[in-house]
Amino acid sequence: MSDIIANLNAVRQGILEAARAGGRDAGEIQLIAVTKNVSVNRIHEALAGGVKMIGENRVQEMLDKYPILQGQVQWHLIGHLQTNKVKYILEQVSLIHSLDSISLAEEIQKRAGGGRMVDVLVQVNVAAEATKYGLPVEKTIPFLQEFARWPSIRVKGLMTIAPQVDNPELVRPIFRQLRMLAEQIRTMNLTGVEMNVLSMGMTNDYRVAIEEGSNMVRIGSAIFGR
Ligand SMILES: *Cc1c(COP(=O)(O)O)cnc(C)c1O
């Protein structure tokens, strides 16, 4: 068995165990294999192992790989998106995880056109880390209240990146806070906002994220190595 297939099996087992621990249905948890800095050959191995969705951090890297893997996988943009790059990715991308500004929403709306709906997650900087993108928690609801202005954008949920820590228990409150924020937003029935996806959890913290309600984990190094 290749290392990638073995790693995928271990991650799937980890997802199952975390779902069980959290009293959740593992079938509702989607795995995004994060393929930044991973060659197309190794991505092919992951696809052979049943991966259906890949996450890329940078627009240029996604565009370089897209023609080779087109039609074989769903593309998720998980990294920061600059306004001037929106026009290059709307055709290819299934879900943008990193919407965090009015100017970006306006650009997506402007470039979508043709009745196309663009699915996004709003990135929240729950831990208020100065080095991270994403909206502060307190600006998230006011931002989501604006989406009636952008009829081509459908907000599927929220995304966060927890701080890097050795013990993932330390970031459990971050995940819990994002889930509670999503629940609060769901009761508001905002135009353009569905709020069924919680993209949280990476290699070091995905088990805790799942226990706290994540239904989309973004995992790179546990699958492809460091
Ligand atoms: C790199 C990256 C991941 C995956 O990180 P690992 O720790 O390798 O699993 C997830 N989300 C984002 C936004 C990333 O940039």
Which pLDDT score, from 0 to 100, does residue 1 have?
A: 73
Average pLDDT estimate for 17-23: 97
> How would you class 122 by CB atoms within 10 Å of its CB: exposed for 0-12, middle for 13-18, buried for 19 or more?
buried
Residue nearest atom 7 of ligand 1, based on CA coordinates: 203
Average pLDDT estimate for 158-185: 98
Average pLDDT estimate for 145-169: 97
Cα separation of 148 and 89, whole Å? 23
Residue 145 and residue 185 in contact, taking contact as beta carbons nearer than 8 Å: no
Whether residue 118 has pLDDT greater than 90: yes
* Nearest atom (ligand 1) to Cα of 202: 9
Residue nearest atom 11 of ligand 1, based on CA coordinates: 218
Q: What are the percentages of helix, strand and coil residues in the chain, rounded to 5? A: 45, 20, 35
How confident is residue 14, by pLDDT bands cut at 50, 70 and 90? very high
Whether residue 10 has pLDDT greater than 80: yes
Best of 15, 203, 217, 218 for a ligand 1 pocket test (most atoms within 8 Å of beta carbon):
218
